[in-house]
């Protein structure tokens, strides 16, 4: 009998936890699959070693490589979420929602009062995610994200209070 029984062969529910330095390669792989310019393992190792960076990962059954992550940088009592990404095969299953709930709860518990982020205006999935988590638009940078073979997309600056 498998040591994983009764989950053997079945999808395992995701578990969210603090990211570890050893997750750098997994995060770089998800990032490369999610953005035109991926960050490499060394960039992630550097970020994960930064005391002002808070990062959470989701893993199936809490084991193995991450399938999604959320990362913020803290400045006094504010945070900027600079990446939320989910591996393509794991998208649209509520994983980013789970990560955001956990991440925002941890930021609030750490005394963070306001959270900021930037999102491309044409990123339908991310905008839906952020709208659902109470972020509101507070600024717009026209033609901010270059798009291959098309017009650059605006960046929306969004904010949410954690009070
Ligand atoms: C944005 C992203 C993190 C969403 O991850 P996900 O795990 O698929 O999101 P969820 O399944 O939790 O869905 C969150 C909401 O977005 C909606 N959504 C997700 N993908 C969508 C899509 N392609 N089109 C429209 N809506 C979408 C879901 O229906 C859900 O809305 P609901 O709460 O009203 O049902 C994922 O698409 C991704 O990694 N994209 C590439 C990286 C990126 O753009 N990150 C954000 C900018 S930093």
DSSP structure string for 111-127: T--EEEEEEETT-HHHH
Q: Which of 43, 45, 78, 118 is catalytic?
A: 118
Ligand 1 mutation target, pool 88, 92, 94, 145, most atoms within 8 A of CB: 92
Q: Does the CA dihedral 7-13-15-19 come out positive or negative?
A: positive
Quote the DSSP letter at residue 23. G
Instruction: Count other Cβ atoms within 10 Å, centred on residue 120.
Output: 16
| 80 a catalytic residue | no
- In the numeric block, the tokens 């395992």 are attached to 12
For position 1, what pLDDT does the model report? 44
Q: Return the ligand 1 atom nearest residue 120 CA.
A: 47
- State phi, psi for 64 to the nearest 5 degrees: 80, -160
pLDDT at 96: 98
pLDDT number for residue 38: 86
| 130 is a catalytic site residue | yes
Q: What is the pLDDT of residue 139?
A: 98
Q: Which H or E run contains 84? A: strand 78-86
Cα dihedral 13, 64, 94, 2, rounded to 10, equals -20
pLDDT along the chain (163 residues), means of 10: 59 94 98 93 97 97 96 98 97 98 98 98 98 98 90 96 92
Determine the pLDDT at residue 2: 45
Residue minimizing CA distance to atom 5 of ligand 1? 96
pLDDT score, position 92: 97
Pocket of ligand 1 (CB under 6 A): 34, 83-86, 91-97, 119, 123-126, 128-129, 132
Structural domains for the chain: 14-161 (3.40.630.30)
Residues in the chain: 163
pLDDT at residue 5, as a whole number: 61
Q: How many CB atoms lie within 10 A of CB 4?
A: 12
């Amino acid at each position: 009998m498998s040591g994983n029984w009764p989950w053997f062969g079945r999808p395992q529910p995701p578990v969210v936890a603090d990211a570890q330095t050893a997750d750098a390669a997994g995060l770089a792989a998800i990032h490369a699959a999610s953005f035109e310019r991926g960050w490499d393992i060394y960039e992630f190792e550097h970020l994960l070693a930064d005391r002002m960076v808070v990062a959470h990962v989701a893993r199936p059954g809490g084991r193995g490589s991450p399938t999604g992550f959320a990362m913020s940088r803290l400045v006094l009592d504010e945070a900027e979420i600079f990446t939320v990404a989910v591996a393509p095969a794991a998208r649209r299953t509520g994983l980013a929602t789970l990560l955001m709930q956990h991440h925002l709860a941890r930021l609030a518990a750490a005394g963070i009062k306001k959270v900021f982020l930037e999102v491309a205006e044409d990123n339908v999935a991310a905008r839906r995610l952020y709208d659902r988590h109470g972020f509101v638009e507070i600024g717009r940078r026209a033609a901010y994200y270059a798009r291959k073979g098309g017009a650059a997309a605006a960046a929306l600056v969004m904010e949410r209070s954690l009070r």
